[in-house]
Structure 1
Amino acid sequence: MKIGLLFSGQGAQQVGMGSDLYEALPVYRETIDQASAILGYDLAAVVQDETKIFQTQFAQPAILAMSVAIANALGERLPQPVASLGLSLGEYSALTVAGAFSFEQAVAIIKDRGAYMQAVGDKNPGKMVAVMGDDQQLVVDVLTAMQADGKHVYPANFNTFSQLVIGGIANDVDEAVVKLTDAGIKRTVELPVTGAFHTPLLKDAASQLATRLADEAFNSLQYSVYSNTTAKPFEVNQLHDILTKQITSPTYFAQDIEQMVADGVDTFIEIGPSETLVKFAKKIAPKTIKRYAITDLASFNEISELLMKAEV
């Protein structure tokens, strides 16, 4: 078994996520409590709060803490992966588990990152729409033409080779949907977000994060962690720059999955509150690639048993 770890991004959060893990697994509970001490509020209570858990400033630390807590609880049952990948926020989980950040460092950074993005999103509200279709160049071309006319709408997430999320100012995104429909796109889905993440609308948050990261020191990676921004493995000396650019740049999840398969990954395991990324991987990777997700106590126990029995 050659494992590729996937770490959930923002949007995966759910009310009550991880509660059964918190009750049953001491290592998981210790990790969440450690995060709470760093954050200055009770994370176990936040995940039960339907209002807070869907706010960027709370969702980001909660997802990071849950993801790392699951990895910590697996302990030695989780062999060193061939590579790992997180979607946007999930990159911080991936980098933490791979050793680039300490957990304390990652939680503190994400507390501030989430606050920056929340504030900028509230000030400059945007809209995001998933565009379904195999002709993603058509989508890019339509948006490029609109940008030339002064519109603020951009490609944001290349999730699969048939799903491209666009984002920008709400009216401009609505206009783009009309133009794309006229051009032959048959299906679009508006996403339940208030900010246009991974677009230039978040430039002020990126600037704040650049200042925040300037004095941070990072460690060597224990294995490859793929960047959403470059579609290549991170190098430690690039972390400051790439993590800053990530906020306003498109994510290339689909391309990263292809590269991980080329690296020899034959099993994807998503860690976090949802199964979204392994569902994306199903549409990208060959059918022979196995896919699992650890989202709760039942799936944790199932995958733990699988890992103990597997040849790695």
Structure 2
Amino acid sequence: MKIGLLFSGQGAQQAGMGSDLYEALPEYKSTIDRASKVLGYDLSELTKDADKIAQTQYAQPAILSMSNAIINALGNALPQPIAALGLSLGEYSALTAAGAMNFEQAVAIIKDRGRYMQTVGDENPGKMAAIMGENQQLIENVLAKLQVEGKRVYPANYNTFAQLVIGGIAADVDDAVVALTDAGIKRTIDLPVSGAFHTPLLKDAAVQLSERLEKEAFSDLNYPVYSNTTSEPFVIASLHETLTKQIVSPTYFAQAMQKMLDAGVDTLIEVGPSDTLIKFAKKIAPKDVNRYAIKDLESFNQVKELLTAEEV
């Protein structure tokens, strides 16, 4: 079994996430409690608050903590992965699991990252929409034309080879949706987000994060973690630069997953509050690649049993 770990990104959060895991698994509970000490509030209680968990500043540390708590609870049942990939925020979860930073360090960084993005997003409100269609060059061309006209709308997330999320000023995103429909795009979906993440609208958050990361030291990775920004494995020497660019650059999740699959991954396991990345994987990975998601106690026990049986 050649495992590629997937780590959920922002948007996967939901009220009550991880509550059953917290009650049943001592190592999961211990990890969440460690996060609470860094954050200065009871994370296990906060995740039950639907209003707070929807906010960037709370969602980001909650998802990172849950994802790493699942990995810690699996313990020796999880074989050494051959690679990992997270979506945006999920990259920090992946880097932590792979040893680039320790857990408390990651929680502290993400506490600040979430706050930067919340504040800047509130000051620069934007909109995002998912554009469905395999001709992503067409989408890029339409956006490029609108940018020449002064519109602030950009490619933001290459989630699959047939789903590209765009983001920018709300009115400009609406104009882009009209232009894309006129150009032949059949399906678009407005996304329930408060900011235009991974676009230049978040540049002030990127500046703040860059200054924040200057004081951090990172360790060598135990296995490759693929970057959404470059579609290549992270290089520790340039980690600061890559994570800073990530705030304002498109995520190339589909391209990064393809390269991870090309490296030999035959089993994908997503950890976090949802199975969104596994759904993306169904559009990217061959059918013979096994796909699992651990998002609650039931799925945790099922996957752990599979992993243990594989060892035997």
**Pair in the same fold by TM > 0.5:** yes
Superposition deviation, residue 95 in structure 1: 0.1
User: 1:199-247, CA deviations, whole angstroms, 9 ceiling, x for partnerless residues?
Assistant: 0000000000000001100000000000000000001001100000000
1:9 is matched with which residue? Answer: 9
Give matches, 1:1-312, under 5 Å.
Answer: 1-311=1-311
Query: 2:182 corresponds to which letter in structure 1?
Result: D
Query: 2:277 corresponds to which letter in structure 1?
Result: L
User: 1:11-65, CA deviations, whole angstroms, 9 ceiling, x for partnerless residues?
Assistant: 0001100000000000000100000000000101110001000000000000000
User: 1:106-138, CA deviations, whole angstroms, 9 ceiling, x for partnerless residues?
Assistant: 000000000000000000000000000010000
Q: Distance in 1 between matches of 2:166 and 2:299?
A: 32
Q: Distance in 1 between matches of 2:158 and 2:311?
A: 33
Query: 1:106 corresponds to which letter in structure 2?
Result: A
Identity of aligned residues (%): 71
Q: Distance in 2 between matches of 1:79 and 1:93?
A: 17
Equivalent position SS for 2:50: coil
Q: Runs of 5+ in structure 1 lacking a partner?
A: none
User: 1:263-312, CA deviations, whole angstroms, 9 ceiling, x for partnerless residues?
Assistant: 00000000000000011001001111110000000000000000011159
Equivalent position SS for 2:218: coil
Q: What is the aligned-residue RMSD (CA, Å)?
A: 0.7
User: 1:66-105, CA deviations, whole angstroms, 9 ceiling, x for partnerless residues?
Assistant: 0000000000111110100000000000000000000010
Equivalent position SS for 1:15: coil
Q: Distance in 1 between matches of 2:272 and 2:194?
A: 22
Query: 2:178 corresponds to which letter in structure 1?
Result: V
Q: Distance in 1 between matches of 2:208 and 2:267?
A: 37
Q: Distance in 2 between matches of 1:257 and 1:68?
A: 20
User: 1:166-197, CA deviations, whole angstroms, 9 ceiling, x for partnerless residues?
Assistant: 00000000000000000000000000001000
Equivalent position SS for 1:141: helix
Runs of at least 4 residues off by over 2 Å: none
Superposition deviation, residue 257 in structure 1: 1.1
Query: 2:287 corresponds to which letter in structure 1?
Result: K
Equivalent position SS for 2:138: helix
| Number of residue pairs the alignment of both structures matches | 312
Q: Distance in 2 between matches of 1:40 and 1:260?
A: 37
Q: Runs of 5+ in structure 2 lacking a partner?
A: none
Query: 1:166 corresponds to which letter in structure 2?
Result: I
Equivalent position SS for 2:268: strand
Q: Distance in 2 between matches of 1:287 and 1:74?
A: 26
Equivalent position SS for 2:95: helix
User: 1:138-170, CA deviations, whole angstroms, 9 ceiling, x for partnerless residues?
Assistant: 000000111111110000000000000000000
Q: Distance in 2 between matches of 1:149 and 1:311?
A: 59
Equivalent position SS for 1:51: helix
Q: Distance in 2 between matches of 1:261 and 1:60?
A: 27
- TM-score, normalised by the number of residues in structure 1: 0.99
Q: Distance in 1 between matches of 2:310 and 2:188?
A: 41
